[in-house]
Chains A and B, each alone.
Chain A
Amino acid sequence: MNETLEKLVASMKDRFGAGITNVTEFRDDVIVTVSRDIIVEATTFLRDNADCPFPLCEDVFGVDQFTRKQRFEVNYHFFSVAKKERIHLKVQVEEQDASVPSITGVFPGAGWYERETFDMYGITFPGNNDLRRMYMPESYEYFPLRKDFPLMGIPGSIPLPKRGGA
């Protein structure tokens, strides 16, 4: 971890205390795991940080870890245009309560990423007022990127038009 990121992570720890549950580094990618309730404050903090502001939210996406506890993860990527640094945030949620507060109030561009995550994993984002299906039909019941969704799809889950017209 370089000096800028080290300082940033330290200031995040100061600011949020127990809200930061883990910090990992692998191949120079720094991932800060934060608890769900502080995600909006944490992203606001990153955006408005004076030393190293992160005005660009590059991506938001889900991961299905397929464990009994904390099954889903939502990852966030931020990029600092001024300091050329990148930082990743991560939020872990349980399957029964798979929802993470939306950060569209901080980064309007996160709207579609959250929609995509909802569409693929069924994780909801309270606060996102346009949380519709992204790729799948509106009435589709399943979430295709979950690990228990079969690769070949579920037969009959998308009704096809009848032969010879409706």
Chain B
Amino acid sequence: MSTDRIIADDMYQSPVATSSIPPKGQRTQLLQALLDMDPDLTYDDPLENDMILSMGPSHPATHGVLRILLRLDGETIVSGIPELGYLHRGYEKIAENETYHEFITHTDRLDYLQPVHNNVGYILAVEKLLGIEAPPRAQYIRTMLAELARISSHLVGFGVMAMDVGAMTLLLWCFREREKIHDIYDLVIGARFTTSYTRIGGLAQDITHEGLAAISAFLDQFPERLDEGERLLNRNRIFFDRCRGTGLITAEEALAWGFTGPNLRGSGVPLDLRRDKPYLVYNDLDFDVITETEGDSLARYYVRLAEMKESVKIVRQCIEKLPSGSIHAHEPKKVLPRKERVYTRMEELIHDFMIVNFGVNPPAGEVYQAIESSKGQLGFHIVSRGEGHPWRLKIRSPSFCNLQVLPHLLKGHMISDILAVLGSIDPVMGEADK
């Protein structure tokens, strides 16, 4: 057995057998083995040995902070292991030390391609814990902006996947459309990127006529722009051939491995929490759950493409049905009062003081609320002990769960297929690493 082989085996050995802390200096041993390596080995026929290649963490196609350790036989992938931890910011620990309101801003930074959606997911979990509900107008606005966030996130997935396999134009076109959505955020929310739009029991502010008009104007031109992009890719032989048949996964495997969202629907499982566990106002809206049966990279791409069209349908319905009324639930001890009332009335001043200083005090208990984010099932599990901050907040982030399927999807493919497969999973490292 050559030294190369020893290194390779060492790298794949699990450092922890069954219990206890991993032994110290595992990597150092590895490095030592590499340094001690007989220099004559470099004259060996490289094709006789498996090669270990570290792709990322700073490779542009690995989303910045994902590292994939590959074991290659020539150009064929024998195995590939995704490694996380280069971005870990400890959000779950931070959540335990902040009030429920304070954590809203952190949810923006989880899946930074669709901040509003994360805001909504988190706030629904908190509202479920508190046992309150935002009024219908707030729910409609939330749905509308969440769907815009889905479009914006899919646009990035769509464009980046195309760029990863070599089509640069589409990325620029997608970002042009995404900019328009950010302009809408700017108008409606006041921030382009980190929105922090929701509040417990309502929203930061109401939507104006101007905001609604901007959304309508966007919807009027978007399907046509999407068609242009679609035409560019769907009739592109290179894109088609690189995506078809790569990263195959059957419906049973996809479920067993914990795939959710467009990735799961690409394998033909019609699981969509918007319809299966309805939240917000999805019960009142008419939309289709998109599925494809092939289970390859191309199928996942088609699902995302069609979902954007469904989102356009949903936002249109929300604008039509948007009810009038308040956007804040009438729960004085749980919902932050309006500032103008805080300045002029004693009761509101006291409530504001109590909520800001001690937080909303939910009952003791555990709740789990999941939403269908653009990447899959985004869930928040809150363990409460009746204090102003969560005792434990677990974020079930879809990208984390989707990434662990990567070794299964990559096996037997060529190096260049990694990009198409990774692009088709559409991970965001912000929530995979949390």
Contacts and interface: CB of A to CB of B under 8 A. Distances in A.
Contact of A88 (B15, B93, B368): B368
Interface string B14-31: 111011111111110000
B225 interface: no
Interface in B49-73: none
A13 interface: no
A36 interface: no
Contacts of B381: 59, 61, 75, 77
A144 B22 contact: no
A107 B256 contact: yes
Interface string B250-261: 001001111110
B404 A112 contact: yes
Contacts of B180: none
Interface stretch (A1-9, A14-22, A134-142): A134-142
10 contacts: A55-B252, A58-B377, A86-B277, A109-B401, A124-B20, A126-B18, A132-B14, A134-B85, A141-B21, A151-B94
B124 to A, nearest CB: 12
A26 B394 CA distance: 17
Contacts of B90: 144
A31 interface: yes
A23 interface: no
A59 B21 CA distance: 23
B405 interface: yes
B433 A135 contact: yes
Contact of B379 (A59, A118, A120): A59
- Which 10 pairs across A and B sit closest by C-beta, in order of nearness? A109-B258, A135-B88, A26-B365, A112-B404, A135-B85, A109-B257, A139-B24, A124-B19, A84-B276, A55-B255
Nearest to B408: A108
Contacts of A127: 18
A32 interface: no
Contact of A126 (B19, B27, B252, B377): B19
A134 B391 CA distance: 22
Interface residues on A, range: 35 or more
Contacts of B25: 139
A93 to B, nearest CB: 13
B387 to A, nearest CB: 13
A88 B259 CA distance: 19
Contacts of B92: 120, 145
Interface residues of B, number: 55
Interface in B349-380: 365-368, 370, 377, 379
Given A26-B365, A75-B394, A84-B276, 20 more contacts: A56-B255, A59-B394, A63-B383, A75-B381, A77-B368, A77-B396, A88-B366, A109-B257, A109-B401, A109-B405, A113-B401, A126-B19, A130-B14, A131-B16, A132-B22, A133-B15, A135-B433, A138-B22, A138-B26, A139-B23
B14 to A, nearest CB: 5
Contacts of B18: 124, 126-127, 131
Interface in A62-77: 63-64, 75, 77
A10 interface: no
Given A26-B366, A99-B19, A124-B19, A112 B400 contact: yes
Interface string B200-223: 000000000000000000000000
A50 to B, nearest CB: 17
A57 interface: yes
Contact of B22 (A31, A108, A133): A133
Contacts of B289: none
Contacts of A131: 14, 16, 18
A146 to B, nearest CB: 10
Contacts of B256: 55, 107-109
B277 A84 contact: yes
Contacts of A55: 252, 255-256
B128 interface: yes
B2 to A, nearest CB: 25
A71 to B, nearest CB: 13
B401 A112 contact: yes
A41 to B, nearest CB: 18
Interface in A100-124: 107-113, 116, 118, 120, 122, 124
Given A27-B367, A144-B90, A134 B84 contact: yes
Contacts of B24: 139
Contacts of A134: 84-85
A11 to B, nearest CB: 22
B126 to A, nearest CB: 12
B258 A57 contact: yes
Given A135-B84, A135-B433, A58 B257 contact: no
Contacts of B434: 135
Interface in B1-51: 14-16, 18-27
Contacts of B97: 151
A27 B363 CA distance: 11
Contacts of A77: 368, 379, 381, 396
A133 B88 CA distance: 12
A61 B130 CA distance: 23
